[in-house]
Amino acid sequence: MRVISENKIDKNRMTSTQIIVLGFLLAIFVGALLLMIPFATARGEETSFLTALFTATTSICVTGLVVVDTFSHWSFFGQLIILVLIQIGGFGVITLFSIVMMMMKKQFSLRTRILIQDYYNLDTISGLIKFLRRVIKDTLIVEGIGAVLYAFIFVPKFGPLKGVWVSIFNSVSAFCNAGMDVMGPNSLIDYQTNLPVNLITMTLIVLGGIGYVVWFDVIENIKRSSKRWIGLRAFWRRLEVHTKLVINLTLFLIISGALLVLLFEWNNPDTIGNMSVGNKILASFFQSITFRTAGFATVPQEALTPSTCIAGLMYMFVGGSPVGTAGGIKTVTIFVVMLNVFSFIRNRTEPVVFSRAVSEKLINKASAIVMSNLMLSIVLLMVLMQVCHVPALSAAYEIFSATGTVGLSRGLTSSLNVPGQIVVMIGMYAGRIGPISMALFFSTGRSDKNDIRFSNGHFIVG
């Protein structure tokens, strides 16, 4: 009888995926309730539940789409709540829970360790708490450095108090790839030719989106190399295969995106057409980087050519890299799918990268992620166009920005009706936790059908 009772408890216990999904949802609703407090607005008036919920969702999901201006609608208290929500979203609610556990000096159970492992998509629970502490420490260090660098620009402009606040807010928002700011209604358009602001912001975005695993691998190898100079080639060979792949993919996406923006916007007077060549290149690189889940803008998004917007949809869909603060399906995911395609075309029995084979399980997971995210985006796009009657390109830009947790908009967000706002919120939430997680949330557990083997059927594809 005792064994039956224990099995029943285990069966009814929530899975890691369910805890993550509900944890994000709970954080959103708590944030919304706090933002509804009159003290949270600049005018001391109560914010409607829908507006507060939308703001809390975009903050927790580190998206950046807003229905009210962050700098003017919210008081310092409201902006502080938003900043905390962004930081929680960047860390993840599971990391926040772990921080509380460490502050209370509580022991991490095996189940909690597995939960953290699932959230960060790690292969093992070995050294998990050390990894978690390093994530928290290094994140705060990078955000602190970013805030200090920003302060040299924003303190002279806004004064000591507001300048420091703007610097901190922008640094956290950029690193977490949230794209929200408290400077004004034009994002970073007023700073489109300001080299320090552009470089600081782009660096923070890339560092947040490249993934902690890559960080730590590069840093560890730099420490080893500092004892004895080994040369760049030897240094590169020492890096993990994942690190090499992410660095190559990140550079390729940044450069290719910048070239496309430069090509499509070169003569566009409403974006970069009237800039000098140097500033055109700067703005193009910034746009390329911000496409992949950042949300800051140095050129008006509604003024971009249709070709640039369509290219942007692809970069939004891909997003950043695994185990980072960025959204999207992730760089390695799309690479694995494309690698499998080319391997099939070349009649190779298994996909190989850097002399390492890619497992069938990983290919299946990557394919499921790509298809589920694409289907989600298309369905939400059709619904948004139906309930709001907006142009297809602007609607697609909005939806792919939401599901990719990007935060760029062609001026559509603030004009959305209630059904439209709900559709975008669903997109942001699903994009942050992933459609696969949503599906697994409703899963009843392991299927016994996996133990059954069937004979092959004759099907025709292509």
Quote the pLDDT of residue 231: 76
Quote the pLDDT of residue 9: 38
Q: What are the DSSP calls for 230-247, one per residue?
A: --HHHHHHHS-HHHHHHH
> Which residues, at least 6 apart from 325, have a Cβ–Cβ distance to it below 8 Å?
62, 90, 175, 176, 177, 208, 209
Q: Is the pLDDT confidence value at 7 over 60?
A: no
Q: What is the mean pLDDT of residues 58-87?
A: 93
Nearest C-alpha neighbor of 422 from the set 382, 390, 392, 383: 383
Residue 404: pLDDT band with limits 50, 70, 90: very high
pLDDT tens, position by position, 361-391: 889 888 988 999 999 999 999 999 999 999 9
Q: Is the pLDDT confidence value at 188 over 60?
A: yes
Mean pLDDT lowest for which of 119-128, 225-234, 346-355? 119-128
Quote the pLDDT of residue 408: 94
Q: Read off φ and ψ for residue 33, nearest 5 degrees.
A: -65, -40
Looking at per-residue confidence, does 2 or 187 come out higher?
187
Token representation of residue 331: 């760089």
Quote the pLDDT of residue 415: 92
Contact present, 302 and 412 (Cβ < 8 Å): no
In this structure, is the dihedral angle defined by the CA atoms of residues 367, 306, 403 and 204, taken in order, positive or negative? positive
How much is the mean pLDDT over the chain?
A: 87
Residue type, position 19, single letter: I
pLDDT tens, position by position, 105-139: 777 777 777 767 766 666 666 777 788 888 888 99
- How far, in Å, are 103, 110, 136, 339 from residue 133 at the CA level? 11, 17, 5, 34
Quote the pLDDT of residue 3: 40
Residue appearing with tokens 């691998």: 217
Residue 310: pLDDT band with limits 50, 70, 90: very high
Quote the pLDDT of residue 455: 76
pLDDT tens, position by position, 410-457: 999 999 999 999 999 999 998 888 765 655 555 545 555 666 777 777
pLDDT tens, position by position, 244-280: 999 999 999 999 999 999 999 999 999 999 999 999 9
